[in-house]
Amino acid sequence: MTVNVRFEPDGIEAAVAASITVSEAAHEADLSLHLPCGGRGKCGKCRVTVLSGSLSEPTVEEVELLTPEELESGCRLACQARLEGDAVIEVPPEAHVIGKKALNGDLVRPVKLHPNARQIHVKLPPPSIHDQRSDFDRLDGALSQVTATLHACPAALRVLAGALREGDFEVIASIVGSRLVDVRPGSQRPRTLGVAVDIGTTTVVAYLVDLLTGRPLTTAAAYNEQGRHGADVISRIEYCGTHKDGVETLRGLVLQTINGIIAEALGKCGCRTEDLYEVTIVGNTAMNHLFMGLDPRNLAQAPYIPVTTRAHELAPAEAGIAMHPRGSVFCLPTIAGFVGADTVGVILATDMLDRGHPVLAIDIGTNGEVALWAKGKLLVASCAAGPAFEGAQIEHGMRAAPGAIEHVRLKDEGIEIQTIGGQQPTGICGSGLFDAVARVLELGVVESSGRFVDGQLPAGTSPQVAQRLVGEGNTRRFILSDPDDASPVYLSQRDVRQIQLAKGAVRAAVDLLLEMAELEPEELGEVLLAGAFGNYVDPVSALRMGMLPPVPVERIKGVGNAAGAGALLALISLEERRRAAELAAAAEHVELSRLPQFQMAFMDAMVFP
Amino acid sequence: MTVNVRFEPDGIEAAVAASITVSEAAHEADLSLHLPCGGRGKCGKCRVTVLSGSLSEPTVEEVELLTPEELESGCRLACQARLEGDAVIEVPPEAHVIGKKALNGDLVRPVKLHPNARQIHVKLPPPSIHDQRSDFDRLDGALSQVTATLHACPAALRVLAGALREGDFEVIASIVGSRLVDVRPGSQRPRTLGVAVDIGTTTVVAYLVDLLTGRPLTTAAAYNEQGRHGADVISRIEYCGTHKDGVETLRGLVLQTINGIIAEALGKCGCRTEDLYEVTIVGNTAMNHLFMGLDPRNLAQAPYIPVTTRAHELAPAEAGIAMHPRGSVFCLPTIAGFVGADTVGVILATDMLDRGHPVLAIDIGTNGEVALWAKGKLLVASCAAGPAFEGAQIEHGMRAAPGAIEHVRLKDEGIEIQTIGGQQPTGICGSGLFDAVARVLELGVVESSGRFVDGQLPAGTSPQVAQRLVGEGNTRRFILSDPDDASPVYLSQRDVRQIQLAKGAVRAAVDLLLEMAELEPEELGEVLLAGAFGNYVDPVSALRMGMLPPVPVERIKGVGNAAGAGALLALISLEERRRAAELAAAAEHVELSRLPQFQMAFMDAMVFP
């Protein structure tokens, strides 16, 4: 038998098997509940209210944990009560959990919903000549159970007296942090949205979330408008140095980008600007600086000093974000000039410090950041990987778009390529580059020094492979597409050199951090690859070309846009926000260029294994 | 021998006797220094720096308390070092004290200078590859000795990197509360001003203070522009009820008044709007509400509920005050609907709780507030004194202006009047009314019931007095000016009734609070009269007409504009600001109209003794 269940206040419906528990039904409706005791009816934390419908009789556990009055008023434990027919059930927002499914796989672990912006429903005792407390004291008194001492915005105080009396002393208090920002009569909670923004040097992504339920609503992305003044961080910083008001110009452009995608996301869901109470921001340190309008120039010259690495909470007007005027914009902390809030987001979202073994996390965009958790220490470093992995400065390099070679495999006597969309190959994207380099190494076409074989190919090389290697000296190249094409897609000697520089920078950082931690590669429990990079690159190829230290391939895991996931965690949970600050403060930044052994490590790391 | 001494950073100069101590010289320059050990050279808190000039050799105490390096760099103890010739001496702002003299007698007690807005001079170690702290961490680290953890305004972060490098890592940090609001290169502290505002229903006063030194600069006052919509609190509240946007209109008018007098005060001293960092506000609860834009309507109807009684800190833009955009506006707390921040100011400035005996404080404007400190309890009440004491609703009542009768005395066989400016009498102001009523009682012209004698005057009444009593029944009146005048100034039967109502309200409040505290009048150590009222009314008259309980006349003291002094204390000292909140929270508000014995007490109190 199937029954229909609806969960309020979201109005989420699901048809589920009769006799399953409310928490199981919620799970099927993609509405995970927090079950601290694991659903054993021991903690009483999963209380829900049955608004209508028929459910099983209260269990022994429920009778123990709930008062007769609570049971009478429809209160039940979600892990105990079973559905016997159609039902409408109200779930308190505190019980929600954000799960993997909810965040399209971007989020790595579930957390309890506890956002900075909340809408709290209260019924107050009306005043009398014997209880002359002020309206604000009356409200704050009732809220003292759920929030620290409130500070009131004048705008909220200005509507307080009217709202209390219009609602007959039943109101919704809008709270952001410890500030009372609005009051509305009645019991209907207004829409309360949050956006997590991941400011990439190239792309900016916004995740729109319903903060009352923790449910993601939609996502929007756009190229960072700053791109018109430079493709990478360094050229943008240079722009600030060479243009009066350069910082303000770049700030304006990224705000234009962010406000654009926020408006797009809100529009998709039919929501208004005023519904948006919270925005969290991650990005590399330079992006963070430009977002806040801070001069990034000292990031680019020794000793590489940021203006600030702390977390900052900005008023919407200060930040320049179109949202509820008394909402809040939270910039996650950074660690150093080239280890940004994006890395903090990765460390936070992957829960690196609590995975039970030493973990290496690598986030590679235009810049690479490496984090190592081992022996109670969190070491982080940046490396100038350059844009090669993104296809820049590669002769046939291109973004991951239809026609890009994304995989190169050995097949029979030769190679087989796979393009995005199965179209005719027009170039190579990042994951294809990794594969291509790994394959030419396996085929012996490129030596461990990185040079294309100049004379004899290895014994047993098939004609199919041999015919792909063309040109002489510095123009040697390996054709990846059909060699009979008039203008085939190939990997050149120069391309391989670029890849060597890039992977060498990453590997040197990894090796130096391992050395500082006195850790052998095999002691690493996991190697986490963050970013698009981690989702698409073949770990076998990354190992083969020596960008990663020698670990069993199954320990290498892609974790998606963990930086964005970190911003999301900070959006939906104050505990995660605090954790981000702790992690950033605990991280030990290693300035690699300062180490005497850096040059040697870099030279070593450029060699292919 | 006389020497010239200049005190920096104020540039205050004085010619003083040679061989006096630096602290004595400072005192002569009206620049009081804080000497915790009483000037005995024991605490080392009065350090100053000798910038130039010749002083006595260090004393044994100085050698003990100062390091050789400190002595070498010109550091001395102000209570020990003696002037031997002309000198220039730098005084740290922490050492200053605001004294009576400084505040034109308005301030009742001296406090240590510790304003919310500060300008702190710091020299930072420059960054290096071995010290890569962010600019903000570097600054905050250096400031951690003098301030709690800083939060940075984006505007301050935006200039931070440039200011540090332009000043070679020597800067002035502008701090408001725990916020870093600006940074300037160099060592020159910018002008830092504060204004204490006393919003009266009729008159608004602004006191401009230099927050670097605690010195008052000037004062400005104007009629409250709200006056066009009603002379008293109740009519203004009614205006809010009967006019759409009434609250906003009245808020706009008081802001216009306040911004006008602030601009006037700044202009007098050649200062700019951006130099003003702090504003403190006192006023009665309705004025406080209208200043913040809060609906005051519930103040006027039972159960008389204010929107808020707490202290609130507003951003300048929220408050609507023209000042430094990242400064702060602090509204002192109120106690109840008719016991406002002005009363809190009185309690704070008079240090009521620490005078060593039970104290009664009375502040009478259009409304009266009474505070009683006795037996560890602070009781406060309001009473509807009405505007009679200000001359309103009195036939010949007028404001204290030239021509107003301000005193009435018995002389020889008759009476003698004194007018403001010695001019021809044109009416009676508050203090004259008190005297007039006391005199007609003493002369037996008015009975204790308040009725003018209808038949026989007391035996021995002089013809001079007898001729002044004219009219019949309800038109009986006592002529105060020359009885031969065509239109003389007189006190009418109706006037006496108005005064009875007003003084009865005050006295009933006093009696009921004394009763609640189980205190006899003679146990009162002091009766403090605040406001203009207290400065001009003759205590003997106030006692004679029974507005005050029977206490020895020497215990009655005028304390001037203590409400404004409270605002000043909160402006120059954070400790006083905290104390104001404590006092407001500790005060026990007594709603007199709720007491069953109120009507009886009021009836009794209307009778003249």
Return all residues near B485 (Cβ < 8 A) that are at least 6 apart.
none
- B305 contacts A132? CB cut-off 8 A: yes
A244-to-A239, A249, A257, A295, A487 alpha-carbon distances in Å: 9, 9, 21, 12, 45
Q: What are the structure tokens assigned to B520, written together?
A: 């006899």
Please report the ipTM that was assigned to this predicted complex.
0.81
Q: Check: CB of residue A305 under 8 Å from CB of residue A296.
A: no
Q: Check: CB of residue B176 under 8 Å from CB of residue B149.
A: no
Q: Chain B neighbours among A 314-373 (CB < 8 Å)?
A: 314, 318-319, 336-337
**A132 Cα to chain B: minimum distance (Å):** 6
In this predicted structure, the answer to whether residue B208 has a pLDDT above a threshold of 80 is yes
Locus of tokens 């050649």: B270
- A153 contacts B129? CB cut-off 8 A: no
In this predicted structure, the answer to whether residue B33 has a pLDDT above a threshold of 80 is no
Q: Check: CB of residue B10 under 8 Å from CB of residue B29.
A: no
Q: Check: CB of residue A194 under 8 Å from CB of residue A117.
A: yes
Measured between CB atoms, does A297 come within 8 Å of chain B?
yes
Q: Are strands B469-470 and B477-479 parallel, antiparallel or unpaired?
A: antiparallel
pLDDT bracket for residue B36 (50, 70, 90): low
Question: Which position has the higher pLDDT, B379 or B457?
Answer: B379
pLDDT at B159: 97
pLDDT bracket for residue B101 (50, 70, 90): very low
Q: Check: CB of residue A70 under 8 Å from CB of residue A83.
A: no
Tens-place pLDDT, residues A517-535? 999 999 999 999 987 677 7
Measured between CB atoms, does A164 come within 8 Å of chain B?
no
pLDDT at B382: 92
Q: Which of B157, B319, B589 sits opposite A307 (nearest CB)?
A: B157
DSSP at A114: B
Measured between CB atoms, does B133 come within 8 Å of chain A?
yes
A482-491, A507-516, B3-12, B195-204: least confident range: B3-12
**B158 Cα to chain A: minimum distance (Å):** 5
Q: What are the structure tokens assigned to B309, written together?
A: 């009684």
Cα A22 to Cα A39: distance, rounded to the nearest angstrom:
11
Measured between CB atoms, does A308 come within 8 Å of chain B?
yes
In this predicted structure, the answer to whether residue B342 has a pLDDT above a threshold of 80 is yes
Q: What are the structure tokens assigned to A340, written together?
A: 């940004």
Residues from chain A contacting residue B295 (CB–CB below 8 Å): 158, 161-162
Q: Best of A124, A181, A244, A294 to disrupt the B interface by mutation (most B CBs within 10 Å)? A: A294
Contacts 24+ apart (CB under 8 A), B414-423: B414/B462, B414/B464, B414/B465, B414/B468, B415/B439, B415/B443, B415/B464, B415/B465, B415/B468, B415/B480, B417/B480, B417/B481
B412-416, B506-510, B550-554: least confident range: B412-416
Chain B's closest residue to A251, CA to CA, is B158
Measured between CB atoms, does B308 come within 8 Å of chain A?
yes
In this predicted structure, the answer to whether residue B593 has a pLDDT above a threshold of 60 is yes
Measured between CB atoms, does B292 come within 8 Å of chain A?
yes
* Cα three-residue angle A169-A173-A174, rounded to 5 degrees: 160
pLDDT at B100: 37
pLDDT at B9: 66
Q: What are the structure tokens assigned to A67, written together?
A: 């008062």
In this predicted structure, the answer to whether residue B15 has a pLDDT above a threshold of 90 is no
* Nearest alpha carbon to residue A335 among A586, A153, A71, A602: A586
pLDDT at B103: 41
Q: Which of A128, A134, A162 sits opposite B306 (nearest CB)?
A: A134
How far does Cα A128 stand from its chain's mean position? 51
* Nearest alpha carbon to residue B205 among B562, B529, B570: B562
In this predicted structure, the answer to whether residue A156 has a pLDDT above a threshold of 90 is yes
Q: Which of B152, B304, B305 sits opposite A312 (nearest CB)?
A: B152
Q: What are the structure tokens assigned to A187, written together?
A: 């019991």
**A293 Cα to chain B: minimum distance (Å):** 6
pLDDT at A244: 93
B9-13, B361-365, B582-586: least confident range: B9-13
Chain A's closest residue to B132, CA to CA, is A305
Question: Which position has the higher pLDDT, A99 or A231?
Answer: A231
In this predicted structure, the answer to whether residue A106 has a pLDDT above a threshold of 50 is no
Return all residues near A204 (Cβ < 8 A) that are at least 6 apart.
A197, A198, A221, A222, A223, A224, A254, A257, A258, A261
The residue-averaged pLDDT of A541-552 equals 95
- B160 contacts A134? CB cut-off 8 A: no
Q: Which of B135, B306, B337 sits opposite A307 (nearest CB)?
A: B135
- Beta partners for residue A276, in sequence order: A193
A442-451, A497-506, B151-160, B378-387: least confident range: B378-387
* Nearest alpha carbon to residue B340 among B94, B605, B587: B587
Q: What are the structure tokens assigned to B68, written together?
A: 């050789």
Q: For every residue of A322-342, which 3-state class applies, written as one string?
A: CCCCCCEEEECCCCECCECHH
Q: Give pTM, 2 decimals.
A: 0.81
pLDDT bracket for residue B105 (50, 70, 90): very low
Q: What are the structure tokens assigned to B250, written together?
A: 């009245």
A386-395, A479-488, B428-437: least confident range: A386-395
pLDDT bracket for residue A536 (50, 70, 90): confident
pLDDT at A105: 44
Locus of tokens 């600069």: B217
In this predicted structure, the answer to whether residue A12 has a pLDDT above a threshold of 80 is no
- B136 contacts A307? CB cut-off 8 A: yes
Q: Check: CB of residue A391 under 8 Å from CB of residue A399.
A: yes
The residue-averaged pLDDT of B455-481 equals 90
The residue-averaged pLDDT of B185-194 equals 95
Q: Which of A247, A308, A337 sits opposite B152 (nearest CB)?
A: A308
- A134 contacts B310? CB cut-off 8 A: yes
Chain A's closest residue to B140, CA to CA, is A308
Cα B523 to Cα B549: distance, rounded to the nearest angstrom:
11
**B182 Cα to chain A: minimum distance (Å):** 14
The residue-averaged pLDDT of A534-555 equals 91
pLDDT at B368: 86
Q: How many CB pairs under 8 A join A and B?
A: 142
Cα B96 to Cα B47: distance, rounded to the nearest angstrom:
11
Q: Check: CB of residue B344 under 8 Å from CB of residue B282.
A: yes
- A153 contacts B318? CB cut-off 8 A: yes
- B298 contacts A161? CB cut-off 8 A: yes
DSSP at B347: H
Chain A's closest residue to B285, CA to CA, is A134
- B298 contacts A158? CB cut-off 8 A: no
Cα A460 to Cα A233: distance, rounded to the nearest angstrom:
46
Q: Best of B166, B308, B335 to disrupt the A interface by mutation (most A CBs within 10 Å)? A: B308
- B134 contacts A306? CB cut-off 8 A: yes
The residue-averaged pLDDT of B476-502 equals 93
pLDDT at B25: 86
Task: Determine if the peptide bond prior to A458 is cis (ω within 30°).
Answer: no
Average pLDDT taken over every residue of chain B: 90
Tens-place pLDDT, residues A279-334? 999 999 999 999 999 999 999 998 999 999 999 999 999 999 999 999 999 999 99
In this predicted structure, the answer to whether residue A38 has a pLDDT above a threshold of 80 is no
Q: Are strands A556-558 and A526-530 parallel, antiparallel or unpaired?
A: parallel
Residues from chain B contacting residue A298 (CB–CB below 8 Å): 135, 161, 165
Q: Best of A144, A153, A157 to disrupt the B interface by mutation (most B CBs within 10 Å)? A: A157
Phi and psi dihedrals of B37, rounded to 5? -90, 10
pLDDT at B380: 97
Cα A578 to Cα A575: distance, rounded to the nearest angstrom:
5
3-state secondary structure at position B368: strand
How far does Cα A307 stand from its chain's mean position? 24
Chain B's closest residue to A304, CA to CA, is B132
The residue-averaged pLDDT of B575-600 equals 93
